[in-house]
Amino acid sequence: MNTFLLILLCVFEAGFAFTAISRKADKMGWQTGRLICNAGQLGLYFVMLLAPGIDMSFRFMGLFVLLLLRIIIAFIGMMFIKNKEDKSKHPAMMILSALLSVALISGSMIPSFVITDYSGLPVSGAYDVAETHAILIDESRKEEFETDGSKREIPVYIYYPSNAAGGEKFPLIIFSHGAFGYYQSNHSTYAELASNGYVVISIEHPYHSLFTKDTNGDTIIVDASFLNGVMGINAEDVSEETVFELSSQWLKLRCDDINFVIDSVKPAAGRNALPEFWYTDGGQNANIIAALAMTNTDKIGVMGHSLGGAAAVSMGRTRNDISAVIDLDGTMLGEVTGVENGRDIVNHEPYTTPILSFDNEEHHFASQEERKNDVPYANNIVHDYAVCGYRTYIAGTGHMNFTDLPMYAPPLAKMLGTGSVAPEECMMTINKIVLEFFDSFLKERKVFSVQECINIS
């Protein structure tokens, strides 16, 4: 419907320009017609709000603002001309104005073509899902991306059952997003888990996230050096030593964030007030306290996508209060302890925390090739020595198919890497397996199993 709306708006412009040129409109006639045309376009947009796929969200906000501004500018222009000598409007200027209008309208509608009206996947659980948020301030750590001595701030987004009975307790799941991802990257997963009786905290890692907000309300965008480093480590001429050095820095920051969040949640659960370092807008306090009150911090799972998955694996290695770990298509960089003669030195100690890892199709076959060539690949070695390890890959998947991005912004997801699998069916399958895994190891409901390869028809 957005294509249809764009065509109609362009038809308005073409019709207005053709009418004005054929009537040899003077400047006043042109400006009056411009006002009528702009008002008609805004009216058309309001009418099209009744059609599916057209709304007042971010996807169309640029268009709405543009159409409104054009009405105001046209009205001011008409008032200005009234006090001036009325001269004829050159046809070439009319055509140029119409072409510029088409370009502006088209540009303002780009978000509607890049971003879909995706509003989430259906959930299978009996609980309604609520969301709240806060920013945790770690006074023990300086923000390494700043030079003003400010402390590390970690936004957290909490998803929890809103209609739980009093006294019910639910396991805690911590989620870490991928490199230059953001906290909603796997919203459908959080909702599925919360609807089935889990409290999910999605951590946003400032300067590793595409964008986030700090306690001043300022927008923090991804750090350029981090972005360049992530993009650069896949180049053929990058040494294993460089990869190890960079990835160690990234994982330390993320693991420090996750440790601080877990260590902040555990003492806060069940209390009637939040510590001062829990920064909120005030209106969220009651919701946060309610969510923490139902959190069972004796049952904790950690999961993440890509670099977030690597961080989750590291947490399962270093903390004894983690009961289950899920890695969504992440290379387990934290298992590399050094580099010698251009080859990774990988930890061979048994991985004792129950772990489930998903691979995309290319990732799976690449890891098989590494095994065949006797290359010490961390993911292979972790599962070789895992006490309770499960590994699967989904046919037809790319790296971003393990997030909601292909359903939210298909062109962007394709650019970052997707496969031929249907995005909705893929994420529903992933969410189902994730739920079954956590149910098995955090709720002890049934024995878990998963196929090596999953084909989604």
Report the Cα–Cα distance between both ends of the chain, in Å, rounded: 28
195, 55: one domain: no
In a domain, 447, yes or no: yes
pLDDT at 198: 98
> For the chain, what's the residue count?
457
287, 221: one domain: yes
Q: Is-contact 101 47, C-beta < 8 A?
A: no
109, 184: one domain: no
In a domain, 120, yes or no: no
What domain count does the chain have? Answer: 2
pLDDT at 73: 80
Q: 57, 81, 114 — which closes off a domain? A: 114
277, 384: one domain: yes
Tokens of 426: 């893929």
In a domain, 309, yes or no: yes
172, 31: one domain: no
In a domain, 122, yes or no: no
96, 135: one domain: no
In a domain, 319, yes or no: yes
pLDDT at 156: 97
Helix (H) or strand (E) holding 26: none
Residue with tokens 């009093």: 166
304, 435: one domain: yes
447, 320: one domain: yes
248 burial (CB, 10 Å; 0-12 / 13-18 / 19+) is: middle
237 burial (CB, 10 Å; 0-12 / 13-18 / 19+) is: exposed
**Position 120, amino acid:** G
In a domain, 218, yes or no: yes
Residue 393's DSSP bridge partners are: 359, 453
Task: Tell me the backbone φ, ψ of residue 151, rounded to 5 degrees.
Answer: -90, 160
* Owning domain of residue 69: 2-114
What CATH number does the domain containing 380 carry? 3.40.50.1820
149, 97: one domain: no
In a domain, 123, yes or no: no
106, 213: one domain: no
16, 142: one domain: no
pLDDT at 361: 95
d(CA 184, CA 202): 8
Q: Is-contact 150 217, C-beta < 8 A?
A: no
61, 140: one domain: no
Q: Does the pTM exceed 0.75?
A: yes
In a domain, 251, yes or no: yes
Mean pLDDT, 10 residues at a time, the chain of 457 residues: 84 81 75 83 85 77 86 76 60 81 86 78 95 96 91 96 89 96 94 97 96 91 92 80 93 97 92 88 87 95 97 96 97 94 92 97 95 94 96 96 93 91 96 97 92 91
What contacts 306, CB < 8 A, 6 or more positions away? 178, 179, 181, 328, 329, 330, 399
Question: How crowded is residue 245: how many other Cβ atoms within 10 Å of its Cβ?
Answer: 12
